[in-house]
Amino acid sequence: MEVRSLEPKGLWNHFADLNAVPRPSKKEERVIEFMMNFGKELGLETLKDAIGNVVIKKPGALHLANAQTIIMQSHLDMVHQKNNDTVFDFDKQGIDMIVDGDWVKANGTTLGADNGIGVAAIMALLSSTDIAHPPIEAMFTIDEETGMTGAKELDGKNFSGKILLNLDTEDDDELSIGCAGGIDTNTSYKYKQEPLNADSEGFTLKVKGLMGGHSGMDIDKGRGNANKMMTRVLYHLRSVVDVQLVEFDGGSLRNAIPREATVRLAVHKDASKVLMAEVEKIADQIKVEYKTVEANLQIVLEETDVTGAKAVEVHDMVKILNALYAVPNGVYRMSPDIADLVECSSSLARVIVKDGDFITQSLQRSSVESSKDDIANTIRANFENMGASVVQSGDYPGWQPNPNSKILNVMADLYREMYKEEPQIKACHAGLECGILSQHLPGVDMISFGPNIRAAHSPDEKVQISSVQKFWDYLLETLNRLN
């Protein structure tokens, strides 16, 4: 079965069209043009604001023609990540989608269901000729995944609606009314280099096979962070053998839990067997600890050529490993007010040690501004302690939950009526755009919902077909109630 034959056909066909367009964060020119052409070809009012967000407006249809205007919002960009052994050019190729039972996934890459399903749902409404809906102000933002600059620079004067539906959550029984804010911490340090010791042998050490995932939504699932895991292995090796660090390359995206890390190192040839034995020893320990959540974890040591390479000078290596080992990673604080909500976290997303430069990227999240400052300062202090330069940027606010929201009451009652069960009314630990959008759209009542999406931001990303149908039916009936 092909994606285009799935129901609802309008939504899935628009999703397939969208996924044929490369749309990485910071490089949305092609998808902006795609959306502008889409709106104009429908004869709808279509505009692009100064930052690149696309707005398409459609009058109400059928018996809802004179209902109150609704803002519907999703983001255009997607996380581009692939498995190391997948040959794929995100700049030139459309996503290769596969129907697998009740799920749609991609062939070795991220799928783009985050937030492409939301975009496609809005497109299906905009292109419809037989669906009753209120007047729609469709907001398609850019760069949600790497800084939320679209939301930050939004021109609020383009909107008159007083209710906003954000279609960017990942559980179909959940109504989100709050989210975490975030801040990026980027560090840099110039380390000294030294020649490899005489009679050295080179090795490549790899941590791979981890689940990865979204560093907000999945941060409380106990998954391994490849950068922290690799640091643990190196810290142990340094205690038992005279190891020299040549390079460290771990993680990929600022908002994804690192799945892989690779290190090049060297030891005296007489210590090679000790190195191999110690890697096997600590690898076995780590695999036992993570066997429940990381069944595919591999820690692999292979011989490699390091001729002509330079190593990190030993005192700088100690500083680097100590800093990486000490930096907090994962859940920092659970919310004392909302059950099971991660209040504050940090994810060590990227580590590079190469050619005299030690670089890290991490993302701190919190639903409380003061605790966000606390974790950000904790990360800053850790790296400043070793003499690194620290730059913190991309700060964005959280979305304060409003349990008395009118749209929440409407949608919660509707969910109970349609599905005979209680919806999960939650704040989430991801960085939804609603917190930022509320600054540009004061007084607008906001809520977020969506279909079941799993493993977003990783090549294992997938969206449930039956859940998309449920989401679509619920969306249409919600619009029908907003008259």
Q: Which domains does the chain have, with CATH numbers?
A: 3-180+398-481 (3.40.630.10), 183-396 (3.30.70.360)
8 A C-beta contact, residue 361 and residue 186: yes
Residue 470's alpha-carbon distances to 65, 97, 264, 418, in angstroms, are 24, 21, 49, 10
pLDDT number for residue 2: 94
Looking at residue 59, what is its pLDDT? 98
362-363-365 Cα angle (round to 5): 150
DSSP string, 113-159: HHHHHHHHHHHHHHH-SS--B--EEEEEES-TTTT-HHHHT--GGG-
Q: Give the chain's radius of gyration (CA, Å).
A: 24
Given 28, 49, 77, 445, which residue is catalytic? 77
Query: What is the predicted pLDDT for the residue at 428?
Result: 85
Provide φ and ψ at 145, rounded to 5°: -75, -20
For residue 27, the one-letter residue type is K
The pLDDT, as a whole number, for residue 483 is 77
144 is catalytic: yes
Q: Considering 144, 171, 184, 316, which one is annotated as catalytic?
A: 144
- If you write DSSP's letter for every residue of 291-313 in order, what string do you get? TTT-TT-EEEEEEE--TT-EEE-
Handedness of CA 170, 83, 75, 38 (dihedral sign): negative
| Average pLDDT over the chain, rounded to an integer | 95
The identity of residue 137, as a single letter, is E
Contact of 216 with 430, CB cutoff 8 Å: yes
pLDDT value, residue 460: 94
Cβ distance 102 to 466 under 8 Å? yes
pLDDT of residue 397: 85
Query: What tens digit of pLDDT does each residue of 455-482 get?
Result: 998 899 999 999 999 999 999 999 999 8
pLDDT digits (tens, 9 = 90+) for 133-168: 999 999 999 999 988 899 999 999 999 999 999 999
- What is the pLDDT averaged over residues 266-277? 97
Contacts for 159 with CB less than 8 Å, ≥ 6 apart: 55, 71, 137, 139, 441, 444
- In this predicted structure, the answer to whether residue 1 has a pLDDT above a threshold of 80 is no
Residues 6+ apart with CB under 8 A from 33: none
Mean pLDDT of 246-270: 96
Phi, psi (5° rounding) for residue 48? -125, 130
DSSP 443: T
Q: pLDDT at residue 405 above 80?
A: yes
Asked if 477 and 410 touch (Cβ cutoff 8 Å), the reply is no
- For the stretch 20-65, pLDDT in tens is 999 999 999 999 999 999 999 999 999 999 999 999 999 999 999 9
